[in-house]
Amino acid sequence: MHNEAPASVSYSLLSPAGFPLIFTVRGENHGDLLQEMEGIEVALGDMGYTPDSKKGYPKKEKILTGETCPKCSGNLVEATKKDGSKFEKCENNVWDFNLKKNVGTCDYVNWGESTTMPDGNMNSATQKQKDLIQSKWPHLWEEGMSKAQAGDVISSQMNK
């Protein structure tokens, strides 16, 4: 019979060959396990294991040489979504997956022509964002609002 250890930590990893796995380490108490984690993480890295973040999109980014952001003149980056489709964004656009919003200094994203909004602007708030804001917080809606701005309004109101 195996008794469950009182402390454990699980790592979502990719093996050196690219296979996803969960690696769990157990200990007798939280304090000792926390101290061991630093050495464990160094050893895993030395063996070629890498973190496997389920929310790690965009997974691949490539700087588009010579192209600059139309909003802030930062470098444009080509990124890949989970579904494999490509989009471009400003290097200063930093998405926080926990907060579900841009925490960078620029909100520029070009999702491609398939996502152009009815007004022809690829960065305009979506119709769903517009409808939600206008129905729940009409005083916060501004014509010409970007997707990022609308997302910020929705996030701030939902977190109240």
- The answer to whether residue 151 scores a pLDDT higher than 70 is yes
Indicate the pLDDT class of residue 47, thresholds 50, 70 and 90. Answer: very high
pLDDT band per the 50, 70, 90 thresholds, residue 98: low
Question: Three-class SS of residue 158?
Answer: helix
pLDDT value, residue 119? 45
Over residues 65-77, mean pLDDT: 85
pLDDT, average across residues 46-59? 68
- Region 17-21 average pLDDT: 86
Overall average pLDDT of the 84-112 stretch: 81
Pairing mode, strands 75-80 and 50-51: unpaired
* 121 vs 35, more confident: 35
Does residue 55 carry a pLDDT above 80? no
> Which of the four pLDDT bands, split at 50, 70 and 90, describes residue 117?
very low
Q: Check residue 54 and give its pLDDT.
A: 56
Rounded-to-10 torsion of CA 39, 8, 12, 17: 60
- pTM recorded for the entire structure: 0.37
Domain ranges of the chain: 7-51, 57-115, 124-160
pLDDT of residue 87: 84
DSSP state of 10: E
Look at residue 120 in the predicted model and tell me its pLDDT. 46
More confident: 136 or 53: 136
